[in-house]
């Protein structure tokens, strides 16, 4: 099983949601070219496992790719077979954590409340995804969690702005998921891969500056 540091080498992960697999594939390549080093392809993307195989083959396996929005443990084997490095759930699903343990693949369980975060760790999550983070206070919510729950490895996702990446990382968050701020719906609709590449470059620079502090 890969470590958190191996799966999220620069602490930023692009989260792809689209109905167009070909556009999504090109968008992921643009994000990787721009400097985002990890991609999550959600199961809502058509032919998501084939897209993951294509990304890994095209990039020579240099970048970790994972499967998101996983609801059932059966998808974990499919993810492993596709070459995925990690699996992400939207909510607390211990049965998915069990499947990840059996398949030796890094598990990220979704949670929101302190109780759910604690239960996710007990279930075997290597990383707990606090989702959706923006509506519940963003960095201030993480700051509040750090009091009683400092040291729990967190990923934040859901409405994260590129400008906020630094604040999260300085609070000890291990990975930041970017969806619409990296892959704006209008950029996907118009296949504006240059915008996505520029967004990725900006996100990578903000993350690097925060880690260097």
Q: What is the CATH number of the domain that holds 206?
A: 3.20.20.70
Tell whether 60 is covered by a domain. yes
* Predicted TM-score (pTM) of this structure: 0.96
Nearest to 18 by CA among 148, 204, 186, 144: 186
Residue numbers in the chain where pLDDT is lower than 70: none
Predicted local distance difference test score (pLDDT) of residue 150: 86
Predicted local distance difference test score (pLDDT) of residue 67: 98
Tell whether 142 is covered by a domain. no
How far out from the chain centre does Cα 89 lie?
10
Predicted local distance difference test score (pLDDT) of residue 213: 85
Predicted local distance difference test score (pLDDT) of residue 1: 85
Tell whether 138 is covered by a domain. no
Decide if 75 contacts 66 (C-beta within 8 A). no
Overall domain count for the chain:
1
**CA-based angle 67:69:74, to the nearest 5?**
70
Tell whether 200 is covered by a domain. yes
Q: How far is 42 from 183, CA to CA, in rounded Å? A: 13
Tell whether 110 is covered by a domain. no
Tell whether 193 is covered by a domain. yes
Tell whether 131 is covered by a domain. no
Domain around 59: 9-105+157-166+175-212
């Amino acid at each position: 099983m890969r470590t958190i540091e191996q799966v999220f080498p620069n602490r930023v992960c692009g989260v792809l949601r689209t109905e167009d697999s070909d556009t999504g594939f090109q968008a992921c390549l643009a994000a990787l070219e721009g400097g985002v080093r990890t991609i999550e392809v959600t199961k809502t993307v058509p032919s998501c496992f084939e897209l993951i195989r294509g990304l890994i083959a095209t990039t020579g396996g240099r970048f970790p790719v994972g499967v998101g929005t996983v609801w059932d443990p059966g998808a974990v084997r499919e993810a492993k077979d596709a070459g995925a490095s990690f699996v992400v759930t939207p909510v607390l699903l211990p049965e998915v954590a069990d499947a990840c343990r059996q398949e030796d693949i890094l598990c990220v369980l979704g949670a929101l409340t302190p109780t759910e975060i604690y239960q996710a760790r007990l279930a075997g999550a290597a990383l707990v995804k606090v989702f959706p983070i923006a509506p519940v206070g963003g960095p201030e919510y993480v700051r509040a969690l750090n009091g009683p729950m400092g040291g729990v490895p967190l990923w934040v996702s859901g409405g994260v702005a590129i400008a906020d990446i630094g604040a999260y990382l300085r609070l000890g968050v291990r990975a930041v998921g970017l969806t619409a701020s990296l892959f704006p719906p209008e950029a996907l609709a118009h296949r504006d891969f240059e915008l996505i590449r520029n967004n990725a470059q900006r996100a990578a620079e903000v993350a690097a500056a925060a880690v260097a502090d």
